[in-house]
Amino acid sequence: MKQPDTQPKVVLTDPIHPKAHDMLAHAATVTTLDPGLDAAEAARVLRLEIQDAHGLIVRRQLPADLLEGPNTLRGVVRHGVGLDFIPVDSATRQGLPVANTPAVNANAVAEYAVTAMLESARRFRFFDDQLRQGNWHVRKTAPAMTFELRGRTIGIVGFGAIGHRIAQIAAGGFGMRVAACTRNPARLPEGIIAMELEALFESSDFVVLACPLTEQTRGLINRGILSRAKPGLVLINVSRGPVINETDLIDALESGQIGGAALDVFATQPLPMDSRLRNHPRVALTPHLAGTTQDAELAMGLMAVEAQLALLRGERPDNVVNRECYNNQETQ
């Protein structure tokens, strides 16, 4: 049933979990961008929709100047954690609060990272392919090609909710040694070794990138860092694609400098068809889905809606990431 026009309008850049959508629709008029639109047309339609919208829930990259144009927004919510999708500085200047959904998909991302480690250690894809071709005797190669996680070292770059959960599973579930490179080493839990990035690569069997994309982390993993890698190291990226210099990574893979990679994110998304990453047998590729499970989708959707409704009511929920925006509200 159509909601009354007196309700606030909330724009979704992409669909959210049906239960979360229903919750939002009880309190607001909901508009969702047509998923069939190309990027340019979607941006054009979005600019029009926010001119009379009060809320915006974001699941894709926004144009950098979007919030500079006409809008009646009272708050923007990132359905997820990474804030690089939203021009937060622009929002702050305009006194517009931005919230995200921290930690709710941390377990999903952590389990993805563990899956990637297990695949690298036990080679499920390779043995499945060989058996389907009728090669039963490939089992004789397993001792030379596979290993166990227990006793190996995992290095984690970035130690927020995702890094913390990865460490819990790796140490408590598999008996792995855990090291971390973080801006706040004093806050690391007992038993986790703080390391600089170079030392982390030199001593780790697996390195998981779980840091946010910032100007400091853009291109962080480059030729110099990869040259320090322990032989056979597997690199897993659940962060953002631009954290890695992809050309340097491909060179390191092709030269054997590192043993493999599992990549969920890329410098250009979707991954171009001519990317050299597609052709390497020791690279596992997935389309930015590490944090996407039915459980995480529901949890993120509900938190995003709760935050959006709170912002519409004029409240200041704890997950607002740019609280300085409220000072700008007072001066406008």
Nearest Cα to 206, choosing from 281, 279, 121, 286? 121
Amino acid symbol at 290: A
Whether 3 is covered by a domain: the verdict is no
With contact defined as beta carbons under 8 Å apart, do 57 and 23 qualify? Answer: no
pLDDT at 328: 84
Nearest Cα to 269, choosing from 82, 92, 33? 82
Predicted confidence band of residue 2 (pLDDT cuts 50, 70, 90): very low
Do 175 and 41 share a structural domain? no
Do 228 and 111 share a structural domain? yes
Do 155 and 46 share a structural domain? no
Do 268 and 132 share a structural domain? yes
Q: Is the pLDDT assigned to residue 61 strictly greater than 80?
A: yes
Do 267 and 159 share a structural domain? yes
Q: Give the phi and the psi of residue 89 in degrees, each rounded to 5.
A: -60, -40
Whether 276 is covered by a domain: the verdict is yes
Whether 4 is covered by a domain: the verdict is no
Do 84 and 142 share a structural domain? no
Whether 76 is covered by a domain: the verdict is yes
Do 324 and 273 share a structural domain? no
**Percent share of the chain, pLDDT over 70:** 98
Whether 19 is covered by a domain: the verdict is yes
Do 188 and 260 share a structural domain? yes
pLDDT at 332: 59
Alpha-carbon distance of 140 to 143, in angstroms, equals: 7
With contact defined as beta carbons under 8 Å apart, do 307 and 74 qualify? Answer: no
Do 227 and 119 share a structural domain? yes
Do 243 and 126 share a structural domain? yes
pTM: 0.90
Range of the domain at 172: 106-285
Q: Is the pLDDT assigned to residue 1 strictly greater than 50?
A: no
CATH number, domain containing residue 52: 3.40.50.720
- pLDDT tens for residues 3-37? 445 899 999 999 999 999 999 999 999 999 999 99
Do 120 and 49 share a structural domain? no
The mean per-residue pLDDT over the stretch 158-166 comes to 97
- pLDDT tens for residues 73-92? 999 999 999 899 999 999 99
Ramachandran region, residue 95 (left: φ > 0; alpha: ψ -120 to 50; beta: rest): left
Whether 1 is covered by a domain: the verdict is no
Whether 167 is covered by a domain: the verdict is yes
pLDDT at 3: 47
> How many domains is the chain built from?
2
77 burial class (0-12, 13-18, 19+ CB within 10 angstroms)? buried
The mean per-residue pLDDT over the stretch 93-115 comes to 96
pLDDT at 259: 97
Nearest Cα to 26, choosing from 300, 309, 307? 309
Alpha-carbon distance of 58 to 67, in angstroms, equals: 13
With contact defined as beta carbons under 8 Å apart, do 206 and 152 qualify? Answer: yes
How many H helices and E strands in the chain?
Answer: 13, 12
Do 52 and 38 share a structural domain? yes
How high does pLDDT run on average in the chain? 95
Whether 81 is covered by a domain: the verdict is yes
